[in-house]
Amino acid sequence: MRRLGGLLAVLVLPAAAVAQRPALSDNVRRYVSTDTAVVAITGVTVIDGRGTPARQGQTVVLRDGRIAEIGGGVRVPEGALTIDGAGMTLIPGIVGLHDHMFYTAAGGRAAQMSYTGPRLYLASGVTTVRTTGTRSPYADINLKRAIDAGQAPGPRIHVTTPYLTGPDGGGSMFVADQPEAARRFVAYWASEGATWVKFYTDVSRASMKAAIDEAHRQHMKATGHLCSVTFREAVGLGLDDFAHGVLTATDFVPDKQLDKCPPNVYRQLDSLVVPDGPVAKSLIELMVKRGASMTTTMAVFEALSPKRPVTDPRSLDLMAPPVREAYLANRAFIDSMPQGTFTPDGFARALAFDKRFYAAGGILASGVDPTGNGGALPGYGDQRGYELLREAGLTAEQAVQVVSYNGARVLGVVDRLGSVEKGKIADLVLLRGDLTADPSVIRNVVTVFKDGVGYDPGKLIDAVRGRVGID
């Protein structure tokens, strides 16, 4: 009765208070479980995203889409909708920094995910994404517009340009054969609303420099899946963020030619990366000194590595039948090989590099990259990224910092998002269980709050079941 009375009291709050909450269409409301101006989550364990120790028995009050109060002695406001958080963990909304709105799978299959992608991200607790390269830029731009207007469910989207590569690349990517072409490319996409530039493997140093300079002039930032340009060279050119982590750092390849991507680069790096060696130490020191962030995407690499536990039953259930069959066949092939793209030792060394970068004070963020053979799904792959950070040796609090607060730092929105702090926007994830004791609790999403509105993950997942890979 107390909870029902609180709900009725909320319904008669002044119109001004209600008006501050997002106006959601019926298409979005079908997934909403909680939409009241004042919510109190009681008795919950809070991991705030700042890397500080978890706090048990907390009451967190949300008011008009923001975090109003946090503490062990906070009183539940009159009229609040109360959620019993005993036995649960509350973390900031996940900020995915390599979260495409397209998906590729085994057998050359690919699909734009303007329907399945945003629902899966949100259902998994991912409330903010950077697309980090696009094949359908206007699909991403229009999706962002629809989500921002409350017409479609999904995370906040930071739009990245299409891929910018060099003359050895092509396909759906923009090929910059001259620095001036790279500069014009960036200027155009800045005018269309992109806030990040994405480089790909064959870009030259000259084109990268021209694009970065133009991006910074346009108040944009730049990231890249590197190969032809080393990490050290890219730091000197002013690159803001390094996608994928050390497994694209050709600094480790001896006799690498300038502006050329070495052959069989992943196989080479699998054996050449030594996380505590002189190349790694020097590189980490330089990146930290210059403030360059790094986005790890180990979930997508895991799907290409033999004998790794990546056949997630949840993912298989969501894939379209032909996509699932192709993926399982590919996984069986990889597991039958002495090594896949990466060996177990190489995979472990890449995780160790992530930890060393973080421990040295580097801004380590995380994302899924739902590409490769299709084993890393939107959202689910972000959750797996958290588990892999724990496998690397980070504490629960540190891993949450990587997947939330650090992502917000990279995007420049940390004053509003990325942590459970008073005054910040109420983008939060309520999990069933103790995340400090069991990394798999990251999968047990009860409610995802975005702007203080609670979304039902089960309804969002049911909407995409059997559709991943076709829509």
DSSP assignment string, 278-341: HHHHHHHHHHHHHT-EEEE-HHHHHTTSTT-S---HHHHHHB-HHHHHHHHHHHHHHHHSS--S
- pLDDT band at 16, cuts 50/70/90? very low
24 and 109 fall within a common domain: no
- Kindly tell me if the per-residue pLDDT of 239 is higher than 60: yes
- What is the model's pLDDT at position 457? 98
Residue 470 lies in a domain: no
406 and 390 fall within a common domain: yes
Kindly report the pTM of this predicted structure.
Answer: 0.94
80 and 120 fall within a common domain: no
193 and 332 fall within a common domain: yes
- What is the model's pLDDT at position 2? 35
What percentage of the chain exceeds 70 in pLDDT? 95
Assign residue 71 the CATH number of its domain: 2.30.40.10
Nearest to 192 by CA among 138, 145, 139: 138
Assign residue 116 the CATH number of its domain: 3.20.20.140
CA distance 205 to 61: 50
58 and 150 fall within a common domain: no
- What is the model's pLDDT at position 8? 34
Q: Is 103 within 8 Å of 374 (Cβ atoms)?
A: yes
- Kindly tell me if the per-residue pLDDT of 11 is higher than 80: no
151 backbone dihedrals φ, ψ, rounded to 5°: -95, -15
Residue 469 lies in a domain: no
Which domain, by its residues, includes 452?
Answer: 2-92+419-462
- What is the model's pLDDT at position 417? 97
406 and 317 fall within a common domain: yes
In angstroms, the Cα distances linking 415 to 59, 128, 157, 420 are 22, 14, 17, 11
Residue 335 lies in a domain: yes
103 and 57 fall within a common domain: no
Among 36-50, 333-347, 409-423, which is the least confidently predicted range? 333-347
- What is the model's pLDDT at position 9? 35
Residue 389 lies in a domain: yes
- What is the model's pLDDT at position 20? 52
Residue 467 lies in a domain: no
Q: Is 125 within 8 Å of 383 (Cβ atoms)?
A: yes
- What is the model's pLDDT at position 7? 37
- What is the model's pLDDT at position 52? 97
Q: Is 117 within 8 Å of 378 (Cβ atoms)?
A: yes
Residue 471 lies in a domain: no
> What is the β-pairing status of strands 94-96 and 126-130?
parallel
- What is the model's pLDDT at position 3? 38
Nearest to 30 by CA among 337, 456, 396: 456
- pLDDT band at 337, cuts 50/70/90? confident
353 and 430 fall within a common domain: no
Among 124-138, 332-346, 430-444, which is the least confidently predicted range? 332-346
The number of domains in the chain is: 2
330 and 444 fall within a common domain: no
100 and 171 fall within a common domain: yes
133 and 72 fall within a common domain: no
Residue 224 lies in a domain: yes
Residue 390 lies in a domain: yes
255 and 386 fall within a common domain: yes
Q: Is 377 within 8 Å of 120 (Cβ atoms)?
A: yes
Domain boundary among 395, 411, 427: 411
Average pLDDT, the chain: 94
Helix (H) or strand (E) holding 107: none
* Mean pLDDT, range 334-357, rounded to an integer: 90
- The 10s digit of each residue's pLDDT in 127-151 is 999 999 999 999 999 999 999 999 9
- The 10s digit of each residue's pLDDT in 69-80 is 999 999 999 999
